[in-house]
Structure 1
Amino acid sequence: MNISVLGTGSVGQALATRLIGLGHTVYMGTRNVQDSLNKTQPDNWGNPAIGTWIRENTSVELLPFKEAVEKGTDLIVFAMNGHAAFQCLEAVGEQALQGKTMLDISNPLDFSKGFPPSLFVSNTESLGEQIQAKYPALKVVKSLNTMSNPIMVNPAILEGEHTVFVSGNDQEAKTQVTNLLKSFGWQERNIIDLGDITTARGTEMILPLWVRLYGKLQTPFFNFHVNMAKK
């Protein structure tokens, strides 16, 4: 598939690397290509800056948001901070988004008052819903937003069973995302389709718990598992 990955941070890099390894063509979207290329300092966790990463991954084409989406015709992966969602999608434009499936990995984390973050939308709405409402012709599928990026793309790094959730209004789009998850190594029995996009409220609101578990465990290498009783 031709896939556009919107976001140049560690999540976007992890998804792009995995997608390339699976034989997909990846176009990575950014606000300003030259500004991104100029970034060479690793982040606080030691992840490479996009300027360094893109020079080491020459099969990925770094483009402005709109051009990346126009070339990544089969799927959009939104892998940016939730605060940037509407600014990014406005740069792409409604016409370029029309009819496409977007795997939305973002969360509405608000760090304005420091750490741990709160959520800037919750309870009665989700960021996934807001995106879907603003772009009704875009097929938004929320998934992979309840775990760290190494686990997103390689669930086998954790022993035992663990769960990934899927939310979205369009069944065909959810099937497309589910098939991608399976190619990453997710077992069908561990993929739970929660229902329409309103169910993204629940998965986005898992993040405050995830952040606190990360603080307690001092590692991002964990995930949630839904264990159902046998009938």
Structure 2
Amino acid sequence: MKIGIIGSGNAGQTLGEALVKRGHVVKLGTRSPQKLDAWLNQVSDVRASVGSFDEAAAHGDIVFNATSGAGSLKALKAAGSHNLQGKILIDISLPLDFSNGILNLFVANTDSLGEQIQRAFPHVKVVKTMNTVSAALMVNPLSLAEGQHDLFISGNDVDARNEVIGYLKDWFGWESILDLGDLSSARSTEMLFSLLVRVHMTVGHSHFNFKVVR
């Protein structure tokens, strides 16, 4: 499959490398292609490439939004609504605000970044997921507790959610994915970040996740 990734930070690079290793043709979209020379050398596979935001969006049959939350809408607009139209956009971003020196969420409770993206791109199938785990766990859930922990998924399009659930199981080995329903549920998973920060501070690392015991 051809996959475009908008964003070239740690999450985007980790996803890109994992997907290439699974045989997919991946293009990372970035404002500064030269900064990904090291990533290209590390991946060392002709199926990995780098381009602009619009090139990555046009390339992908499926597109990931792996940008920083504050820059998501701007980056996706640069990617071009015509390149995203009708496609599934897997949104893994978080609405993080560092402006006052304290880590906060710039949207919470009554809205979410996932919903803002969906309103800005009404003809795109936005699916929110993977925003509650570290990049390393995104692509290798079996590295923790033999995979016995949960991932959450939200989206207004039921078929798109089910399609992404299938991809997450097939691509990365996720075994338990809880479908929370429409995108309003992304408010909860985005706000979960506040708890994740505190857990990280307590245990001293990000290699953890939650399990819903039923």
TM-score normalised by length of structure 1: 0.88
SS at the partner of 1:195?
coil
Q: Once the two structures are superposed, what CA deviation does each residue of 1:25-45 show, in whole Å capped at 9, x if it has no partner? A: 101101232xxx1x3xxxxxx
TM-fit CA distance, 1:146: 0.2
Q: Pick from 142, 149, 156 the counterpart of residue 135 of structure 2.
A: 149
Q: Once the two structures are superposed, what CA deviation does each residue of 1:176-220 show, in whole Å capped at 9, x if it has no partner? A: 211111021111xx1100000110000000001101111111111
TM-fit CA distance, 1:68: 1.2
The equivalent of 1:186 in structure 2 is 174
Equivalent residue pairs, number: 210
Q: Which amino acid aligns with 2:178?
A: I
The equivalent of 1:65 in structure 2 is 53
Q: Tell me, yes or no, if the aligned pair for 2:57 and 2:80 is still in contact at 8 Å.
A: no
The equivalent of 2:21 in structure 1 is 21
Q: Which amino acid aligns with 1:66?
A: D
Q: Which amino acid aligns with 1:23?
A: G
TM-fit CA distance, 1:94: 1.4
Identity value in percent: 45
**Which runs of structure 2 are paired with 1:74-113 in the superposition (5 Å)?**
74-113=61-100
Question: What is the root-mean-square deviation of aligned Cα atoms in Å?
Answer: 1.1
Q: Pick from 212, 222, 228 the counterpart of residue 208 of structure 2.
A: 222
Whole-Å Cα distance in 2 between the matches of residues 159 and 224 of structure 1? 11
Structure 1, gaps ≥5 residues long: 40-49
Structure 2, gaps ≥5 residues long: none
The equivalent of 2:111 in structure 1 is 125
| Higher helix proportion (structure 1 or 2) | 2
TM-score normalised by length of structure 2: 0.95
The equivalent of 1:12 in structure 2 is 12
Whole-Å Cα distance in 2 between the matches of residues 92 and 5 of structure 1? 10
Q: Hey, which bits of structure 1, 4+ residues long, moved more than 3 A?
A: none
